[in-house]
Chains A and B, each alone.
Chain A
């Protein structure tokens, strides 16, 4: 043990006082970047009518982002910077008086400090190493991203859109992230967040279940606490073929039940969340081929789930199976044109009060054409199918009808970035 402690101390000392890579000082810069897109979408979905309201299939939709990017380098070689990403995110206005569809909010906001020898420390609202920095194998460089693209923006109904794992699958909870330097192609990272709250303040005025720091609550709430991520990545090149591979872990505790727990108590009890993921991608001669697999104790697109047996009556938890998702994709770039396809297959508990497994699958083909650097035309087709026996996707509750729903989206548009 003493040896380990000595070694740890030596490493820390070497990292802090070791020789720094010679680097020229750079005065800080502030840049403003942006993104805008305009899409036409043809959407053919189940459940397009409700209570006498009928929706059509055609629509135009736009979206925008503004990024403020600060960076600089001190004379001692320490780099630093900050990023604030402003976006339109109120795309499904549920309450007319609280926000409009064009309201702006903050996506990510963080500050980072990097040492050439010791790596980068990033603090703020960000994805983390697994669902962010080191994500590997999910090919999204064609169309608008295919199965992780703009298609979902046109689909009406929360139960019509699959919950799937991709970049940014977890909330940008306020966290601390460490990323190492690159050692012979390997780098690694880890992050920690006390909860899944993002932004400033505590999230509540009076103590309630809304508070970010919520530790336990009557009846239990399926919300993350102590979110942990760790990932390792390898990048290398073999005979002109670029290889990137990663393995990662996501874990978290869940808000406890402050009243009674256990089967038939009438309350649900959250399960500790743990997910493991591996991904790899190859790039050569204009081709990019990738795959990603994630599995573990979670539900939907990485969220905690309740423990089987808790709850009573119609709310009894009967399904807390492990989830998994496989994602594959490929693209080919020739000059200004990129074409590609991707797909995922998600298996999870879905509705936990229904015993059957939920199976979501989606596939997409698409292309984009670069008219000028930063200006692209896009076109894409997305097909989605959701299935869970005993769950009515249109009603959002247990039922014999609508156990299988699907959506087709074709979209084309233009996007610009500066």
Chain B
């Protein structure tokens, strides 16, 4: 009996410590006749009257016309790197490659960037940006070091923009 009581007390403690997995409503028994019918006409659980359909996998990975990567990260990366001319953008592999670009204020140096979106999830480690910098020495362009924070700053910018897009979408 004492063991049963101890076990009973343990569960609320686990709840408090956040070890639990949320149980969804469809994991509970439902005694309605509707619940006995397998599947739903049209595939969705009821006809959507108000709101946005989120019954598809979250994160925009598969609901944006067949993108292979997270849609919010993809769009945010395009937005963030839009000041650079684009050479290649592969929405399935999640690779964006820009061309060289010289800022008008510094015509003797140029930048290009490569961004990789690493998956379908909207995660802070879901995007990696690499920046290349060259300086003109005579008639040649020579590779030079980039400030280590530049790539990180760009990634943060992408994540901020993705969060912005996600919250705008959620508020619709």
Contact = CB atoms under 8 A, between A and B. Distances in A.
15 contacts: A15-B16, A30-B50, A31-B49, A33-B34, A35-B37, A65-B32, A65-B34, A67-B32, A116-B22, A117-B20, A119-B15, A133-B29, A180-B15, A415-B33, A418-B41
B23 A15 contact: no
Contact of B16 (A11, A63, A140): A11
B148 interface: no
Interface in A396-418: 415-418
Interface string B10-47: 01111111111111010011111110111111111111
B2 interface: no
B41 A118 contact: no
Contacts of A34: 34, 46
B18 A18 contact: yes
Interface stretch (B51-59, B91-99, B102-110, B139-147): B51-59
Contact of B21 (A14, A85, A182, A376): A182
Interface in A19-63: 19-21, 24-35, 37, 63
A301 to B, nearest CB: 13
Interface stretch (B78-86, B129-137, B151-159, B163-171): B163-171
A335 to B, nearest CB: 12
B48 interface: yes
Nearest to A112: B25
Given A12-B16, A35-B37, A370-B39, A29 B21 contact: no
Contacts of A87: 32
A245 interface: no
B75 to A, nearest CB: 16
B15 A181 contact: yes
A372 B32 CA distance: 20
Contacts of B76: none
Kindly list the 10 A-B residue pairs having the minimum CB-CB distance in the complex, ordered from nearest: A181-B20, A373-B39, A29-B51, A31-B46, A33-B46, A35-B34, A14-B16, A167-B31, A417-B37, A168-B31
Contact of B39 (A117, A140, A372): A372
A107 interface: yes
A150 B33 CA distance: 9
A136 B29 CA distance: 8
B28 A132 contact: yes
Contact of A7 (B11, B13, B25): B13
Contacts of B48: 29-31
Given A186-B11, A416-B41, A28 B166 contact: no
Contacts of B51: 27-30, 72
Contacts of B25: 81, 112
Interface residues of A, number: 77
B69 interface: no
Interface string A74-85: 000001010001
A114 interface: yes
Contacts of A35: 32-34, 37
B40 A120 contact: no
A69 interface: yes
Contacts of A197: none
Contacts of B22: 21, 79, 114-116, 181-182
Contacts of B54: 26, 29
B17 A31 contact: no
A140 B36 contact: yes
B31 A127 contact: yes
Contacts of A19: 18
B172 interface: yes
B127 interface: no
Contacts of A72: 51
Contacts of A299: none
Contact of A418 (B19, B20, B40, B167): B40
A416 B33 CA distance: 10
B20 A133 contact: no
B170 A27 contact: yes
A141 interface: yes
B122 interface: yes
B41 A374 contact: yes
A65 B36 CA distance: 12
B29 to A, nearest CB: 4
Given A372-B41, A373-B38, A18 B16 contact: yes
With most chain A CB atoms within 10 A of its CB, the pick from B11, B17, B22, B45 is B22
Contacts of B45: 31, 33, 69
A183 B19 contact: yes
A144 interface: yes
Contacts of B170: 24-27
